[in-house]
Chains A and B, each alone.
Chain A
Amino acid sequence: MDILHNLAFGFETALTLQNLLYCAIGCVVGTLVGLLPGLGPLSTISLLLPLTYSIPTAGSLIMLAGIYYGAQYGDSVSAITMKIPHASSIVACIDGYQMTLKGKAGLALFTAGVSSFIGGTFAIVVLATLAPTLGDVALLFGPADYCALMLFGFVCVSFVTTGSLLNGLAMTLIGVLLGSVGTDVNSGIARFTLDLPFLTDGIGLISIALGCFGIAEVVKNLDSGSELTPFNGKIKLMPTWPEFKRIIPSALRGSVIGSFLGVLPGGGPVIAQFAAYAADKRFSKYKDEIGHGAIEGVAGQAAADEAAARTSFIPLMSIGIPENAVMALMMGAFIVKGIQPGPNMIATHPDLFWGLVASMWVGNVFLVVLNVPLVRYWLSVFKIPFSVLFPSILFFCCIGTFSINNSLDDIYITAFFGFCGYLFMRLGMEAAPLMLGFILGPMLEEYFRRALLLSRGDFSVFVTRPISGTLIVVVTLFVVWQVTDFFMKVRKARAH
């Protein structure tokens, strides 16, 4: 009953006219920008983050969440109709595009929308029950435990996003170093500022995000130099009843898988999609059709995608540790708004927490009601040629960076990180762990120092406390496994 009561309270916040409006704007704008070729959720959020600065706290967070799932849906639309894979919708390309080729684009889009709705609803129930409980557990954590937890998160995320522990960790740690630029909180001494006055406040989150994701993406698309052909097919949206019945089991399966994988550190939508798709391939009644344009192939992964996108808020809001780059950006937005996500958030800002949860569901409704019928108009976005688009995207990057501090110097920083992001991309290094390190770095330092202060400089505190001890052991085992695995491979390669 408690949950129902809380949810009702949340809907009170979410259903004010203003917040409804912000949610709708977020969804629509998110979808539109997410549709643009080459812009996934990560770049979309970083591009639109500055827009939310002038909005009251609850509204801006609701809008951001709206942007997030709007972008996710927009992504799957472009994947289904034109086979433009983003990081977040690779799986939607497989069966979705096959369905488009068969002239069933509308059906695929409808399936994606409805399954997202099912997945999202399921995940919100999970979120509402699990997050407060986890929050209670998180209160047991001391500074040392937080340090260990973050290290654990670093290792998981670096490994999962890049597939190579070494590259990922290197990026995370560089992020941590970047995070320590600026005035030191404890002593007030300026660090790494190169005597440039605009660096004393630290490097802006937006500068890094826009540089590494926005600008780098644009240049990557310029390099590939291909102009896209717009989609001009006819779209018939509504499915027949037997078709509709096929969506349900697959979407439910996807919801469960997605909700579970979304909570794990380093997890999130991408892995959830693949897992759900694999599960469908294994257990679905129509498994032979999957891969050749089956409804299940779209429904399961869309549900998992959405469910994981929601449940990945759980670690962020209950423990205060973002588990992937998108959540790290969200966390940055929370902090900008003066809210520290973590166990205390539910207690100190119940209206925000439950409002956000409720607005997620409202956002889902918007997606189905607004976006699905309007999708044929959205598709006209693709008729804009890229040569018109990219100067505009660059311009919005500039305005976005500028508007945070009203400082043109920030644009230089963004340009610099645009170069770095491009370099990283060409070197095959993911910029996502860098983001995570950048945002968690200052927190890690804070907890690290506090832990050492409490233990009077004794490092054994990290091993002797049960929670942190366990996590450190897991991390160590993981690293050892990676190292031995590498040398085994080398030996095998030598043997051949």
Chain B
Amino acid sequence: MAIALLFGLGALQYKVGEFSRAGPGLFPLLVSGLVFVIGLVTVVRSYYVEPVPLDYSIKNITVVLLGLCGFAVLSAHVNMIVGILFLVFCVSFAGTAYSVARNLKIAAALIAIAFMFRNLLGLNLPLY
């Protein structure tokens, strides 16, 4: 693990530690104290352990998250069919191959499944 990221993690845990309130916050305070200690130990330990390079690709996770949030927003304000279309088209940017025809097919299948859920399982989906 890269030393820099360990520091970042320590800082993150620090914030969690500062967050608790008095009164009902006794227990969270104790726990976050422990987390803080562990964060400190992690930072200290990072001096001793060999750093390991971190590999990640920011593109895929961003695209997927964007798709999910877009789905929620569109389903809330327009309707879920548009949401599904958006979800499928957006997240397929993260895939290896991109094809409009295939996306349409997937979206159609998912919309059909959504209708099935609503009518057979009684889920209350705002489809349209």
Listed in ascending order, the chain A residues whose CB lies under 8 Å from chain B are 51, 54, 166-167, 169-170, 173-174, 176-177, 180, 184, 186-187, 189, 191-192, 215, 218-219, 222-223, 225, 227, 386-388, 390-392, 394-395, 397-399, 402-403, 406, 408-409, 411-412, 414-415, 418-419, 422, 426-428, 441, 445, 448-449, 486, 490, 493
Inter-chain contact B35/A173, CB cutoff 8 Å: yes
B5 and A394 form a contact (CB under 8 A): no
Chain A facing B: main interface SS: helix
Most chain B CB within 10 A, of A173, A386, A395, A414, is at A395
Closest Cβ of chain A to B67, distance in Å, is 7
Indicate if the CB atoms of A394 and B67 lie closer than 8 Å.
Answer: yes
Q: Which 9 A-B pairs have the closest CB atoms?
A: A411-B72, A387-B95, A184-B24, A415-B68, A187-B24, A222-B60, A445-B27, A391-B88, A426-B56
Contacts of B55 in A (CB 8 A): 426
| Min C-beta distance of B91 to chain A, whole Å | 5
What A residues does B39 contact at CB under 8 A? 170
Q: Can you report 16 residue pairs joining A to B where beta carbons are below 8 Å apart? A: A173-B31, A180-B27, A192-B28, A219-B61, A222-B60, A225-B96, A391-B92, A394-B91, A395-B110, A408-B75, A411-B71, A415-B69, A418-B65, A419-B65, A422-B61, A445-B27
Question: Shortest Cβ distance from A112 into chain B, in angstroms?
Answer: 31
How does the 8 Å CB contact mask read for B94-108 relative to A, with 1 for contact and 0 for none? 111100001100100
Contacting residue for B23 out of A189, A192, A392, A490, CB 8 A: A189
A399-B117 in contact given A54-B122, A222-B94 (Cβ < 8 Å): yes
Task: Identify A387's interface contact among B41, B92, B113, CB under 8 A.
Answer: B92
Q: Say whether A176 contacts B31, CB under 8 Å.
A: yes
In the complex the two chains form, what is the Cα distance from A368 to B55 in whole Å? 42
> How many A-B contacts if CB must be within 8 Å?
146
Q: For B96, list chain A residues within 8 Å (CB).
A: 225, 227, 387
Tell me the chain B residues, 23-71 only, with Cβ under 8 Å from chain A: 23-25, 27-28, 31-32, 34-35, 38-39, 41-42, 45, 48, 52, 54-57, 60-61, 64-65, 67-69, 71
Q: Are B57 and A408 in contact (CB under 8 A)?
A: no
A218 and B102 contact, Cβ closer than 8 Å, known pairs A170-B39, A174-B16: no
Nearest Cβ on chain B to A305's Cβ, whole angstroms = 31
Residues on B lying within 8 angstroms of A by beta carbon are: 1, 5, 9, 13, 16, 19-21, 23-25, 27-28, 31-32, 34-35, 38-39, 41-42, 45, 48, 52, 54-57, 60-61, 64-65, 67-69, 71-72, 75-76, 84, 87-88, 91-92, 94-97, 102-103, 106, 109-110, 113-114, 117, 121-125
Decide yes or no: A427 and B9 within 8 Å by CB, A51-B121, A177-B31, A180-B28 being known contacts. yes
Residue B61 contacts which of A176, A187, A419 (CB distance < 8 angstroms)?
Answer: A419
B residues near A418, Cβ cutoff 8 Å: 61, 64-65, 68
In the bound complex, CA of A377 to CA of B76 (Å): 39
Which of A166, A227, A391, A403 lies in contact with B38, CB distance below 8 A? A166
